[in-house]
Structure formats: structure tokens, C-alpha cells
Amino acid sequence: MSFPSFFSSTNRSADLATTENTIFDLIVIGGGVTGAGICLDAASRGLRTLLLEKKDYASGTSSKSTKLIHGGLRYLKQLELGLVRETGLERAVVHRLAPHLVVPEKMLLPLIKGGNYGKWGTSLGLLTYDWLAGVTGNDRRQMLSREQVLALEPLLKPDDLTGGGYYAEYRTDDARLTIELLKKAITYGARAFNYLQVEDFLYEQERIAGVICTDHLTGNTRSFRAHQVVSASGPWVDGLRQKDQDLGKKHLFLSKGVHVVFPREKLPVRQSIYFDVADGRMIFAIPRGQVTYVGTTDTPFSGDPNRVLTTRSDVQYLLGAVRATFRHTQLRESDIISSWAGLRPLIYEAGKSSSAMSRKDELFVSERGLISIAGGKLTGYRKMAQRTVDLVQRRIHRKGYTPQPCQTGQIPLGSTNLLTKPALSHLQEQVEQRVKSRHLPACMADYLVHLYGPQSSFILDSMSDNDEPQRALAAAEIRFGLRYEQVTTLADFFVRRTGMLYFHNERIPVIREVVTQICQDTLQWSQAQREDNDRELDQLIRDATTFYTTEQLASRAHE
Ligand code: FAD
């Protein structure tokens, strides 16, 4: 298996030096899924592309979603047929491109007396949903009786249950999807750097011509030049539009969404469920390996987008919803083993609640040529990228460059070839055998296949025989991350590359020392840098597991 250079954290300063001397066609600001999708689309159409991310890739909203590749059933109710059709169709495309990472997930929609969805409305709604998304065969929706619903999910309270809908969606890992998009973009000649924050713009004859950045790893200032600049900075889009002194007529509205994670045995749902909450909203419970996660909330947010926390009232809301829906669950705050909170960068619509605001994306072009993309969904990243790069291509007048059609529908992620279903099953079997022979817990096979896909064989090959299995696997993973996935901090590895903070946090104390030592040796950290990394990871662990009241948070902000 061959991997691209230019995505290693060890060559950073040399790579940056050559990058500063290049004039790019396109600079993309923001390494979330939107920016990563644009970067791949542009590079694969032959545009010289540079992506800059102020923290780590996917450290914004793109590691905080519900992690569903879905059409968004509730948008059907809001009559957003175009959005549902586009995202619905995209599900199958993204699954085909990364079948290890975007996996089919049947969704159960229990119908209850007085709930959001009635029987006939749901039947028609799901039929329309399938039709818009071109769903065929066994994946088409089924309507279930009350008894069938309880047989599928005995944990549901039977009291108000009247029946259910059963339909097809897909589950993913948002941060891994982002990183695989970037890795693929690098193979097409793109360059990408994390920890480079765009502070201002360069202009030539009143047209945008590049960016000025702070390098957070060295404190240096760096400039990069390009013919076009796209800001895909999610919740930070308006901040950059302000720097360009052109906020336009529309602006962002930030809405916070929280998820909490329980050990699977505490909330042993058999499958994913989309259920009613007493206030008229709907939330998901999604089993994933050894855990079940529940979310999300939807509340207006006006704090610091760089640190979004789960509050006690978020937790109480989600716990209340779970207790009202499932039997035998006396879940308490102390049962929560992790959580995440993210911001939806919605386009503001006067008079609408955040739940009712559209999830559609929009492109804005400023007076001096800054292109900003806002809104949208993880699921629609590819189409958003296509629209953005179509626009960029129309604005590029470089001699010798001919605009190209979008190709990303044919570019596999996480592998050099499109993985067929039998090839994926074969990979799963192989990894299961190797995990067993290495005396690793059986659940590590799923972990490896869903995270790394075909690259898991490479990671298993690099495991040392002379160490305890968990430590040996972690050592192979971190070496892979440093060399091929631009891991630069402990948090990059434990949060964004592996999702361990959310889904396997029992592994962190076991492997933390070995991972830290390899990072220190490879990246030549001083003792102070090691301590900074430790502090940042400790803080993130605390943020994911400690829940303050809003008043406590306000008083802590003044400390
Ligand atoms: P972000 O991921 O926030 O990326 C923007 C990046 O820009 C950040 O990494 C940031 O650090 C960087 N940046 C900002 N300023 C600068 C600067 N000056 N210089 C350099 N870099 C900068 N969608 C789905 O399809 N399915 C779901 O299940 C789903 N669930 C969701 C649940 C919640 C709770 C939320 C909040 C959203 C959900 N979404 C879902 C929506 C989806 O997550 C977002 O649409 C998507 O992740 C947004 O990605 P982005 O790249 O635009 O923004």
C-alpha cells in the first residue's frame, strides 16, 4: 500500500517553506469536512490547491455531528425537498466511495400517541424519502406494527407505542471522513497544514490575492498567495467575512448540539432509533461498538465558538428524553462516560427557531473576491464542494488551465480502489483473525476496519512482537498517524484520528504513555511541549466528562 508524502508531521517546516514560494490557484481556509471536500474536488480537477486549518482538521463541527450520512427525514416535514433529494442521493455515493467508513444503518422510528409522526403521514413520508433518494430493494421503508417494533427493540416503553417505521440510513465517523478526504487530496497534489490560522488577507489591486497566517506551532507569521480564496470556516465564516470588510446581507446563526455517551450495557439498544422528545423535537440513540450515544440538543449559542461545552441542562434534557422512552433505564449523569458539543453554522432566517432554520448551504462572494461557503450538512459535502469549485473555476483565468468537470463521485477514499462488498467482508475476516492472533480484544477488529479500512492491514503489519498487545497496537497507530495523517498533538490522535475520547476512552490510560513518548521522540518535543500536550488532553477529557451549570460556566469564564 502506498501513502502520499506531504502529509507527515515530521516534514512540516520544509514543506511549509516550499509552499510559501508557490502561487496557488486556490487557498481553502478551514479543514472541516466542507474545506476538505473542496480541497479534494479542486485538486482532482487540476487546480493547485492549499488548505489551511487553524487547529486540527475536523476540530470544529466536523467531529461533533451525530455522525450520520442521512437525508434528514425531518427536512421533509419542512418541505425542503431539494435538500432531502440531494443528501438522500449522496448517501449511496459516499457509501460506495468509502464502504468501510460509511456503513448502512437501519433506523427505527417508533410512533407514539401524540408524537411528531402519525402512521399514514410516516408511511407516505418514508415512501417519499425513499423515492427522492432512489432507495430500492430491501432498503425500502417498512411500516411495522406495535408488536414488530417491540420485537425489534424490546427496550422501548410499550405504553404509548402505536407502531413504527423502519428505513435505511448510513453511519460514519465525521473526523475520519475529513482526514481521508484530505489524504486523497494530497495524492492529487494538494497541500494542507493544520495549526495555521488565517489572520488577514493579502490584496492586489483591490482583489484578494492571498492570506497572512499565524503558525501556532512556532509563533511565526507566514503568507501564502493564490488566485482565489475560499473560506470554509464553518462557525467562523462571519469572523473572516468581517476581516474582509464585507459581511453582506446574510449572516450566520450558531446553534449548539450536544451528544452524550453511555456504556452499551447501561443503554443496550439493539439498533439505531430516532425518537420523540416531549417538547416536540426528535433525537437519536445510536449503538456503536461498546457504547450507545444519544443526541442532539438544538439551542441558540452566543459564546466563544472555540470552546463549546456540554452543560448540566443539556445533560438533563437528554437523560429525561431517554428515561421517557426506554424501559429499565434509571440512567444518571454519572453513567455518562463521554460527550461532545458542536455548533451548527446555520444561515439566519428572521422569525424562525434554530430547529426550523434551513440546513441548506449558500455561497457568498465579497466585493474583493473572498468566496465563503456556509450552512449545509456533512452528508452534502461532495455536492457543496462541486458547486464551490465550479464557481472557482469560472473565476480562474490561468493560462494553460482548462476547467474540468467534477470527478469526486469516482474517487475512492481510504483505498486506491473502490472496495466491493466481498472485498470489505474479506478484509473484515482477515483483520478479525489477526486481532485474535495478536491477543487483542475482539472488538478491536471493528474499530480498526471502520477507522482505517484497508490501511488497518498496514497498521497490524507494523505492530511490534515484543510489547503488550494494546500498547503495541497503539504504537503502530500513532506512528501511522504521525507519518501519514499529520498528527501534531496528543489531542489530534486521541480525539480526531481515532475518536478514542468518545468511544474507547477506557483505552486512553493504558496507552497514553507509549503514545506520548513516541510523539515526543518523533516530533522532538521539549519537556514543556510535552506538558502542554498533556494539559490540553486532560482539559478535553474533563470537558467531555464534567458538566457545569450555565451559571458555573459564566463565573469560571471570569476566573
Ligand atoms: P467545521 O467542521 O467547523 O470546519 C471549519 C474549520 O475552519 C474548523 O476546523 C476551524 O478550526 C477552521 N477555521 C476557522 N477559522 C479559521 C481561520 N481563521 N484559519 C484557518 N482555519 C480556520 N450533518 C450530517 O450530515 N449528519 C449529521 O448527523 C449531522 N449531525 C450534526 C449534529 C450536530 C450537533 C451538529 C452541530 C451538526 C451536525 N451536522 C450533521 C452538520 C455537520 O456536522 C456540519 O454541516 C459540518 O460538519 C460543517 O463542516 P464545516 O467544514 O463547514 O465546518
- Ligand 1 site, CB within 6 A: 29-35, 52-55, 59-62, 64-68, 70, 197-198, 232-236, 240, 257, 296, 342-344, 376-379
Ligand 1 pocket test: pick from 61, 252, 272, 284 the residue with the most ligand atoms within 8 Å of its Cβ. Answer: 61
| Cβ-based neighbours of 433, under 8 Å, separated by 6 or more | none
pLDDT at residue 5, rounded to an integer: 60
Beta-carbon contacts of residue 52 (< 8 Å; ≥ 6 apart): 27, 28, 29, 30, 31, 192, 193, 196, 197, 198, 211, 213, 224
Quote the ligand 1 centre to 33 CA distance (angstroms). Answer: 7
| Distance from Cα 323 to the centre of ligand 1, integer Å | 30
Handedness of CA 270, 271, 276, 278 (dihedral sign): positive
Residues of the chain with pLDDT under 50: none
Residue 65 C-alpha to ligand 1 middle, in angstroms? 8
Q: Whose alpha carbon is nearest atom 26 of ligand 1?
A: 68
Task: Yes or no: say if 34 and 373 are a contact pair by the CB < 8 Å rule.
Answer: yes
Measured in Å, residue 188 CA sits from the centre of ligand 1 at 24
Radius of gyration of the chain (CA): 23
Report pLDDT for 83: 78
Burial of 139 (0-12, 13-18, 19+ CB in 10 A): middle
Please indicate, yes or no, whether the overall pTM of this predicted structure exceeds 0.85: yes
For residues 291 and 262, the answer to whether their CB atoms sit within 8 Å is: yes
Helix, strand, coil content of the chain in percent (nearest 5)? 45, 25, 35
User: What pLDDT, on a 0 to 100 scale, did the predictor assign at position 359?
Assistant: 75
**Ligand 1 atom with the shortest distance to the CA of 52:** 20
* Ligand 1 pocket test target in 50, 59, 63, 66 with most atoms within 8 Å of CB: 66
Q: Which atom of ligand 1 is nearest to the CA of 378?
A: 25
The grid coordinates listed for 283 are 433525537
Q: Name the residue at shortest CA distance from atom 24 of ligand 1.
A: 378
Q: How far does residue 228's CA lie from ligand 1's centre (Å)?
A: 22
The residues, ordered by sequence, that sit 6+ positions from 22 with a Cβ below 8 Å of its Cβ are 48, 50, 225
pLDDT in tens, 448-482: 999 999 999 999 999 998 889 999 999 999 999 99
Calpha distance 538→166 (Å, rounded): 41
What is the atom index within ligand 1 of the atom nearest the CA of 36? 51
Give the CA dihedral 482, 486, 491, 495, nearest 10 degrees: -100
Burial-class residue 319 by CB neighbours within 10 Å (0-12, 13-18, 19+): buried
Distance 175 CA to ligand 1 centre (A): 10
Q: Cα(514)–Cα(498) distance, rounded to whole angstroms?
A: 16
Per-residue pLDDT tens for 341-352?
A: 999 998 887 677
Q: Which atom of ligand 1 is nearest to the CA of 233?
A: 7
